[in-house]
Amino acid sequence: MLSNSLVELDRAHLIHPVASYRGHEKAGVRVLRSARGATVTDGAGQQLLDGFAGLWCVNLGYGVESVVEAAAHQMRELSYATGYFSLGSEPAIRLAAELAERTPGDLDHVYFTLGGSDAVDSTVRFVRYYQRARGKPEKDQFISLEQGYHGSSTVGAGLTALPAFHAGFGLPYDWQHKIPSHYLYRNPVGSDPQAVIAASVAQLHAKVAEIGGPERVAAFYAEPIQGSGGVLVPPDGWMKAMREACRALDILFVADEVITGFGRTGPLFACADEGIVPDLMTVAKGLTSGYVPMGAVFMTNHVYDTIADGAGAAAVGHGYTYSAHPVSAAVGLEVLRLYEAGVLENGRKSGRRLMEGLASLADHPLVGDVRGRGMLAAVELVVDKAARTPLPAASEPARRIFDRAWANGLVIRAFGNGAIGFAPPLCATLAEIDAMVERTRRTLDQTLEDPDVRAAM
Chain residues that interact with ligand PMP, rule: CB under 6 A: 115-117, 120, 149-151, 223, 227-228, 256, 258-259, 284, 295
Q: Minimum distance from CB of 285 to ligand PMP (Å)?
A: 6
Q: Minimum distance from CB of 330 to ligand PMP (Å)?
A: 19
Based on the number of CB atoms within 10 Å of its own CB, is 94 exposed (0-12), middle (13-18) or buried (19 or more)?
middle
Q: Are strands 295-299 and 47-50 parallel, antiparallel or unpaired?
A: unpaired
- Residue 152 or 408: which CB sits closer to ligand PMP? 152
Q: Minimum distance from CB of 62 to ligand PMP (Å)?
A: 18
- Residue 228 or 350: which CB sits closer to ligand PMP? 228
Peptide bond into 293 cis (omega under 30): no
- Residue 256 or 450: which CB sits closer to ligand PMP? 256
- Residue 283 or 367: which CB sits closer to ligand PMP? 283
Give the angle 287-128-245 at the CA atoms, nearest 5°: 80
| Residue 39 identity | T
Q: Minimum distance from CB of 429 to ligand PMP (Å)?
A: 26
Q: Is the dihedral of CA 204, 301, 271, 287 positive or negative?
A: negative
- Residue 246 or 423: which CB sits closer to ligand PMP? 423
Q: How many CB atoms lie within 10 A of CB 248?
A: 12
CB 353 within 8 A of CB 51: no
Q: Minimum distance from CB of 258 to ligand PMP (Å)?
A: 3
- Residue 176 or 306: which CB sits closer to ligand PMP? 176
Q: Minimum distance from CB of 315 to ligand PMP (Å)?
A: 25
- Residue 183 or 404: which CB sits closer to ligand PMP? 183
CB 144 within 8 A of CB 175: no
Of 194, 263, 255, nearest to 226 by C-alpha is 255
Closest residue to ligand PMP using C-beta atoms? 116
Q: Minimum distance from CB of 295 to ligand PMP (Å)?
A: 6
Sheet holding 217-222, edge to edge: 109-113, 295-299, 280-283, 252-256, 217-222, 141-145, 176-179
CB 143 within 8 A of CB 324: no
Q: Minimum distance from CB of 152 to ligand PMP (Å)?
A: 6
CB 152 within 8 A of CB 159: no
| Residue 421 identity | G
- Residue 141 or 228: which CB sits closer to ligand PMP? 228
Per DSSP, helices labelled H in 182-325 are: 193-211, 238-249, 301-311
